[in-house]
């Protein structure tokens, strides 16, 4: 049961009071426990901003430098706090600029509510100044959206938005509110939404599916667990660890599931997928029972579908029925909330160990270590590697930092080599792969957990897509630590060009600016490292800093990320070089 704050109680189910639609919007947010939101003002949303000005002691509006970044900041806030993130923008370009962040939130199951202003209702459909059909545009990338044209609709629609965004499989919701509805006066009262007709956020679990899953697990000789973000979203980390330890099952993770089980756990066998670890990828095609929990068999995880785990019985624990049998045919589907289903499954699972099976993972890890990991973390060549930068961050943060990564080579290196000893520590753009995600997402993450170290790990390409958010960091005095791994290339695209396009580096080499000077222009402490002997001391200085810090590390220009499953190949065809 949700514990209400004093502010929430103040605005929940109070006697009716005649106020404007714009004030109602702010009061609805307060009733939902929102104390921070991210946005950018404009004409069609100005009445709401006027009310935010009056309530600035209760709700903190963070002025991002671009609306897309408002959505990403809301994502970062939601991912690390477990709460609903909120972004706000005006009509037209303000609203359309949110769409990339909304699409990112949709595919990565992130609960955010986006509120957009709209032209007055009598101008709808007239191609008025800054009018766009944002409801139509955002329909494919939202869990739900709605246009409000009357002030009386505001409380019910906002209550429903928050309920839909955070219930079941979370996702983004957009509410578009016409300007006249913001000005209109009405008798306001707010009640939280506890259900929506025909919407079943958590499907009912069939008890026989639990028993069938337990029977398969108990009979397995070579079981493998692959878990995804569903573990984190359902707060099932303890139950996952109990299952892994009780049944002695090696467990691997998708990038969205990273940190649900500590990296150092002896049964954590690493990451699956295109740049995942050698052992869990190869042995996916050797296990006899594959237990998938809160993951969706994305193509970057499965590789060639008709050669994926064809020898195994598949158990799929999943909250979204649409994901079951979508890509991989299951033998036992356990619908429902992961935490509750694991609680029911655990008593039926026998205590077990699988020493010979686990030894296979250890043997393959040694092969990967000698061919890949050793060279990434303990290089003998002159150029700095991305891996050794992550290793130094691990040392200085004791593996307790929240790592917010962008998209590209550095993302795969961060996911592979960061020590995740605390849950909700890997904040990245998984399904959409949005370059420019990390810097604004780190803003939201740091504001959600100011007591934690938040380190944004970014490539030189993605960094320049949202570099303007240094202004947001400076203005809000946020102690975000920013690490740009600069190889002067769009590294992941260049790697593909090297391996599959005969080194035709078309439009991937970057001529970069003076990153340190730009950071200092925003009054952020900044340094550049080009030599290995300077790395440890500078990373320590960054982590010890009380304020924001920018660190540029010049890494080898043509370093590649291995292992790698080539596009369209089987996971067992993973390449080590």
- List, in sequence order, the alpha helices (H) in 187-324: 207-219, 230-233, 237-247, 278-284, 299-302
Two tokens, residue 50: 């006027």
| The one catalytic residue among 8, 130, 189, 475 | 130
| Helix (H/G/I), strand (E/B), else coil: 528 | strand
- List, in sequence order, the alpha helices (H) in 21-98: 21-31, 46-54, 67-81, 93-97
| The one catalytic residue among 274, 492, 542, 564 | 492
Q: What CA–CA distance (Å, rounded) separates 260 from 275?
A: 19
Report whether 292 contacts 224 (CB < 8 A).
Answer: no
Two tokens, residue 141: 């990338």
| Helix (H/G/I), strand (E/B), else coil: 170 | coil
| The one catalytic residue among 143, 179, 481, 528 | 179
Task: Please say if 533 is a catalytic residue.
Answer: no
Specify the residue for token string 């060549």: 381
Beta carbons within 10 angstroms of residue 106's beta carbon: 21
Q: What CA–CA distance (Å, rounded) separates 56 from 77?
A: 19
Report whether 80 contacts 420 (CB < 8 A).
Answer: no
| The one catalytic residue among 9, 14, 129, 370 | 129
- Of 447, 451, 501, 499, the closest CA to residue 476 belongs to 447
Report whether 275 contacts 561 (CB < 8 A).
Answer: yes
Q: How far is the CA of 516 from the CAs of 393, 520, 521, 556, in angstroms?
A: 19, 6, 9, 19
- Of 129, 203, 193, the closest CA to residue 169 belongs to 203
Handedness of CA 46, 141, 449, 484 (dihedral sign): negative
Q: What CA–CA distance (Å, rounded) separates 162 from 218?
A: 40
Task: Please say if 67 is a catalytic residue.
Answer: yes
CA 392 to chain centre: 23
Specify the residue for token string 């467990």: 251
From the number of C-beta atoms within 10 Å of its C-beta (0-12, 13-18, 19+), residue 512 rates as middle
| The one catalytic residue among 67, 237, 453, 552 | 67
Task: Please say if 492 is a catalytic residue.
Answer: yes
> What's the angle, vertex CA 164, arms to CA 135 and CA 81, rounded to 5?
110
> What's the angle, vertex CA 471, arms to CA 468 and CA 477, rounded to 5?
145
Q: How far is the CA of 59 from the CAs of 34, 351, 505, in angstroms?
A: 7, 50, 48
Active site residues: 67, 129-130, 179, 492
């Amino acid at each position: 049961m949700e514990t209400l704050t004093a502010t929430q109680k103040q605005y929940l189910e109070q006697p009716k009071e005649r106020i404007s639609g714009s004030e109602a919007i702010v009061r609805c947010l307060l009733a939902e426990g929102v104390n921070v939101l991210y946005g950018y003002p404009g004409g069609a949303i100005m009445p709401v901003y006027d009310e935010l000005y009056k309530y600035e002691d209760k709700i903190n509006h963070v002025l991002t430098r671009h609306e897309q970044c408002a959505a990403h900041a809301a994502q970062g806030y939601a991912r690390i706090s477990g709460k609903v993130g909120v972004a706000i923008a005006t009509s037209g370009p303000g609203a359309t600029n949110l769409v990339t962040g909304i699409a990112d939130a949709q595919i990565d199951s992130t609960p955010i509510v986006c509120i957009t202003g709209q032209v007055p209702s009598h101008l709808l459909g007239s191609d008025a100044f800054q009018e766009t059909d944002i409801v139509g545009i955002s329909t494919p990338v939202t869990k739900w959206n709605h246009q409000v044209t009357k002030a009386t609709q505001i409380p019910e629609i906002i209550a429903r938005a928050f309920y839909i965004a955070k219930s079941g499989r979370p996702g983004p919701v957009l509410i578009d509110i016409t300007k006249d509805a913001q000005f209109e006066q009405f008798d306001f009262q707010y009640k939280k939404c506890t259900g929506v007709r025909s919407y079943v956020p958590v499907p009912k679990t069939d008890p026989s599916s639990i028993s069938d899953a337990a029977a398969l697990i108990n009979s397995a000789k070579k079981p493998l667990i692959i878990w995804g973000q569903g573990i984190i979203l359902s707060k099932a980390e303890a139950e996952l660890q109990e299952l892994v330890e009780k049944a002695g099952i090696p467990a691997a993770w998708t990038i969205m599931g990273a940190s649900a089980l500590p990296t150092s756990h002896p049964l954590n066998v690493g990451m699956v997928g295109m740049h995942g670890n050698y052992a869990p990828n190869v042995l996916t095609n050797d296990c006899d029972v594959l237990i998938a929990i809160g993951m969706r068999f994305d193509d970057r995880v499965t590789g060639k579908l008709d050669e994926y785990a064809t020898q195994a019985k598949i158990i799929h624990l999943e909250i979204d029925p649409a994901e079951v049998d979508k890509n991989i045919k299951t033998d036992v589907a356990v619908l429902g909330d992961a935490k509750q289903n694991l609680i029911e499954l655990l008593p039926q699972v026998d205590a077990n160990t699988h020493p010979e099976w686990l030894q296979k993972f250890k043997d393959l890890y040694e092969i990967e270590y000698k061919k890949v990991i050793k060279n990434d973390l303990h290089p003998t060549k002159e150029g700095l590697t991305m891996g050794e930068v992550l290793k130094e961050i691990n040392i200085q943060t004791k593996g307790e930092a929240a790592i917010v990564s962008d998209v590209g080579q550095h993302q795969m290196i961060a996911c592979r080599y960061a020590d995740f000893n605390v849950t909700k520590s890997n904040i990245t753009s998984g399904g959409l792969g949005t370059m420019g995600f990390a810097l604004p997402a780190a803003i939201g993450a740091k504001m959600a957990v100011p007591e934690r170290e938040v380190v944004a790990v970014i490539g030189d390409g993605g960094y320049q897509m949202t570099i303007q958010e240094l202004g947001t960091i400076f203005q809000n005095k946020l102690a975000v630590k920013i690490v740009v791994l600069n190889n002067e290339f769009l590294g992941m695209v260049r790697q593909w060009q090297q391996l599959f396009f005969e080194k035709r580096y078309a439009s991937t080499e970057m001529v970069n600016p003076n990153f340190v000077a730009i950071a200092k222009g925003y009054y952020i402490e900044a340094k550049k490292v080009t030599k290995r002997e300077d790395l440890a001391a500078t990373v320590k200085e960054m982590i010890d800093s009380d304020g924001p810090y920018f660190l540029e590390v010049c890494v080898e220009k043509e370093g590649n990320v291995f292992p790698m499953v080539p596009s369209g190949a089987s996971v067992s065809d993973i390449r080590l070089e």
